[in-house]
Amino acid sequence: MSKEYAWIQETADYLRKQGFRLPEIGIVTGSGLGGLTKLIHNPMTIPFARIPHFPALTTEGHQGKLVFGELNGKSVLVMQGRYHFYEGFTLQQIGFPIRIFRELGIKTLILTNACGAINSTFEPGDLMVLTDHLNVVGQNPLIGENVEELGPRFPDAGEIYSKSLIEAAFSAAESLQICLRKGVYAWWSGPSYETPAEIRMLRCLGADAVGMSTVPEALVASHMGMKVLAIACLTNMATGIREAKLTHEEVLTVAAQAEEKYLRLIPTILNQI
């Protein structure tokens, strides 16, 4: 047994002993979007610091907790906060919680994030469903020894983001009269924001938005056969599109303003899964 798989089993066993049993759906919340946990019935919460092999978080707006409970009749496990490549975490560390989700039995994963809009028809505060991504970082969490119990050595990447879940998201948005965009997301390493030239490059490559998370988790989930839905909160226009400097405070402010949409949309999506 590999060291990674032994750690996965050890962490999953610990969570089961705490009562985290048989979750159906995993959810990862992005910057400023952790309020979803307030809707969970009979929540059980464990800080990352108490979970074996989970390092502490360092990014403002990410609380660093696992919350287990019921949301709209579904058993959910919510990761309140996430790890980022720019913090110095390895991609294996970033993907580790997703490995735990699958070991606990989760087959459906919903990822959220806060990111910048490249498509000039979008507006700050809009939500966008990811239909595909561009990995411009050039790194992959699957590099290294492959654990056959987790997934194949060369996984297909033709449909990382589930078409059926995307349809469910748009159906839910329509019923709630929420404007939901769709597009291609470019993964940027950070922590510096992109230059105007880099944004022009990403636009030429077909990106509609750019952010510093999500793609590593989506790759790990897809590797293990999980169905993935990713919804981005467009907190700002990317560098050079409008005359304004970008700040993390702006990201958190707009994410908080858009959170109300998430709090209505995600529970409604659960009804359709």
pLDDT in tens, the chain (273 residues): 688 899 999 999 999 999 999 999 999 998 767 788 899 999 999 999 999 999 877 655 557 899 999 999 999 999 998 999 999 999 999 999 999 999 999 999 999 999 999 999 999 999 999 999 999 999 999 999 999 999 999 999 999 999 999 999 999 999 999 999 999 999 999 999 999 999 999 999 999 999 999 999 999 999 999 999 999 999 888 877 766 676 777 777 777 778 889 999 999 999 988
Q: How far is CA 14 from CA 68, 103, 140, in A?
A: 14, 12, 28
| Whole-structure pTM value | 0.94
Domain span at 145: 3-272
Domain total of the chain: 1
Q: Phi and psi dihedrals of 73, rounded to 5?
A: 80, 0
Q: Quick one: which of 127, 74, 111 has its CA closest to 221?
A: 111
* pLDDT given for residue 59 in this prediction: 58
Q: How far is CA 177 from CA 1, 63, 169, 265, in A?
A: 50, 30, 12, 10
CATH of the domain at 267: 3.40.50.1580
Beta-ladder partners of 47: 65
Measured between alpha carbons, how far is 235 from 123 in angstroms, rounded to an integer? Answer: 8
Q: Is residue 217 packed enough to be buried (19+ CB in 10 Å), middle (13-18) or exposed (0-12)? A: buried
30: left (phi over 0), alpha (psi -120 to 50) or beta: beta
Measured between alpha carbons, how far is 268 from 23 in angstroms, rounded to an integer? Answer: 18
Side-chain-side CA neighbours of 216 within 13 Å: the count stands at 27
| Catalytic positions, written as ranges | 31, 62, 84, 86-87, 114, 212-213, 236, 248
Joined together, the tokens standing for residue 62 give 């990410």
